Amino acid sequence: MKLANPMIGATLRRLHYSEEAISEICGYVTGEKNGAIADGKIEGAPGLLEEHLPIFDTANKCGSGSRYIHCRGHVLMLAALSPLLSEAVSKTVNLPREVTADDFKAVVLEAWQFGVKGITLYRDGSKFAQHLNVRLDGTETDFDLEKLTYQSLLDYAKKAQGRLAELEKELAERRYSHRDKPVGIRSGHTHPAQIEDVKIYATFNRNEKGEITEIYITTDREGTLIMGLLNSLSKTISVMLQYHIPPQNISKMLRGQKYEPYGFVTRHPYIKYYTSISDPISKIIDIELGDFSRCQVAPKNPERALPEVLPAPEYETRGSRQAAVPEEMPRTAPEGEMLRDGSVCPNCSSTRMIWNGTCKVCLDFGTTTGCS
């Protein structure tokens, strides 16, 4: 059963058309041929006045009709409605597949000029499957579907299969991020630390290339909330490393966070103060990469600061991969300047916060964290 949009009849009644005329117009729109809608357009409907045609325009052309709402009409409708709303309203601008990038640009710029807060653009045929298909394959068919022979159908299917094979080949050639999970026995370093009565152990394992591939962070507080959070954080960081996210980026992400437990640290030779559980992970990653500039104590021989298990190279970013550079020496803080821990100045957002007794002072703004 085929039904016309019920709003067609309601609109025709408001325009004072008779029920007989309404029935004829709706019958014209839903007229069938060989069990399918013959056309679907409203243009040329018997008894429909020419001046009423714009009322029934749709986003796309209907059948063999030529009328449709221009993309500028969508923008103007939004522009007229937006001032009446305290928030935003958005709609989709349906564009034919022949549009160009300049056409998209023109719609967006005009929406911005009219003060439209939200707008969505859709080009016909952009999705593999869409609710409304204006055409069968994006182009007008060069044959009569009613006279389609079996051989013509096979030829059409072969063409479609060829396009599908090309698409599969293109997808196969694309490079996606790949996870390299470590296997077998791994070697690494375990960093112990203690804040008051909370003991933390951070183990950093490396693969045969010397790259950090996994992190395990545990505490002596079994069954506690902090233990569960450390396990989750360890798994998340390990997966990030195995997807070849550079460790220095992970260190930067965790740097400067502050929450309990925090305070002075014992049992670690280079780190003497934590601002959170995330803070030591950031610092230890830096240490594993040979960077001691954010530690409170610098080793006398940075190149021998860690036990010799596997080469502990520096890293640089090449695309999304870790590239080892063993020949670079570990970095230490500039001579004559106290080591920083990555804290941020609350006034100027500078990271040049150094220890001044039991508090910190900003070298750029002069702000202190409590000392006079």
Tell me the DSSP string of 246-297.
-HHHHHHHHTT---SS-EEEES-SS--EESSSHHHHHHHHHHHTTB-TTSSS
Q: φ and ψ at 79, to 5 degrees?
A: -65, -35
What is the average pLDDT score of the chain? 78
Beta strands in 124-281 (DSSP E): 187-195, 198-206, 212-219, 263-266, 273-274
Q: Which residues, at least 6 apart from 71, have a Cβ–Cβ distance to it below 8 Å? A: 93, 94, 95, 103, 107
The structure tokens 């007989």 sit at 20
pLDDT at 137: 44
Residues 69 and 59 sit within 8 Å (Cβ to Cβ): yes
**Across 123-148, average pLDDT:** 57
Cα→Cα distances 268→191, 192, 359, Å? 7, 6, 20
Q: Which amino acid is at 161?
A: Q
pLDDT of residue 117 exceeding 70, the answer is: yes
Residue 214 pLDDT: 92
Give pLDDT tens digits for 306-353.
Answer: 776 544 444 444 444 444 435 434 444 444 445 555 677 777 767 777
- Compute the average pLDDT of residues 190-217: 88
* Average pLDDT of the residues in 286-308: 81
Q: Rounded distance, CA 299 to CA 329, Å?
A: 13
CA distance 187 to 212: 10
- pTM for this structure? 0.41
Distinct helix (H) and strand (E) counts, the chain: 8, 13
**pLDDT score at 237:** 93
Does the pLDDT of residue 101 top 60, yes or no?
Answer: yes
CA angle 198, 199, 203 (to 5 degrees): 145
Contact at 8 Å (CB) between 307 and 301?
no
**How large is the average pLDDT for residues 179-201?**
86
pLDDT surpassing 50 at residue 371: yes
Cα 254 to its chain centre, rounded Å, is 20
For the residues 279-299, what does the mean pLDDT come to? 87
Amino acid at 280: P
Give backbone dihedrals phi and psi of 310, rounded to 5 degrees, phi first.
-135, 155
Phi–psi pair at 199, nearest 5 degrees:
-100, 135
Is 342 or 294 the better-scoring residue by pLDDT?
294
The tens digit of pLDDT for each residue in 70-80 reads: 888 888 888 88
Is residue 238 pLDDT above 90, yes or no? yes
Q: What's the average model confidence in pLDDT over 104-132?
A: 81
For residue 31, pLDDT over 90 is answered with no
Residue 145 has pLDDT above 70, yes or no: no
Mean pLDDT, residues 178-205: 86
Establish how many alpha carbons lie within 13 A of residue 51's alpha carbon, considering only the half-sphere containing its beta carbon.
1
pLDDT of 239 reads 93
Neighbours of 253 (CB within 10 A): 15
Residue 319 Ramachandran class (φ > 0 left, ψ -120 to 50 alpha, else beta): left
What is the DSSP-derived secondary structure letter of residue 357? T
